[in-house]
Amino acid sequence: MERALAFKDKVLSHPALKKDNLNPKTWLTAENLKGFRDFILQRETDTETDTSFDNVQM
């Protein structure tokens, strides 16, 4: 019985899955992901676009 109560306490001590935790868009707003989000979401500028290919060959 003690083991069952200990298991119950352990299960209840963990945070329950919340709807917000299952939404990936809320992950990007977290402070711990701010640097990663900025790195991933940066857009390539026009000067960095690769224009070395030849349209005739394409």
Residue 22 confidence class, pLDDT cut points 50, 70, 90: confident
Measured distance CA(58)–CA(55) in Å, rounded: 5
Predicted confidence at residue 17, as pLDDT, reads 66
Position 26 pLDDT exceeds 80: no
Residue % of the chain over a pLDDT of 90: 0
Question: Of 19, 39, 17, 18, whose CA–CA distance to 28 is shortest?
Answer: 39
**Whole-Å CA distances, 43 to 10, 36, 49:** 45, 14, 11
Of residues 28 and 41, the one with the higher pLDDT is 41
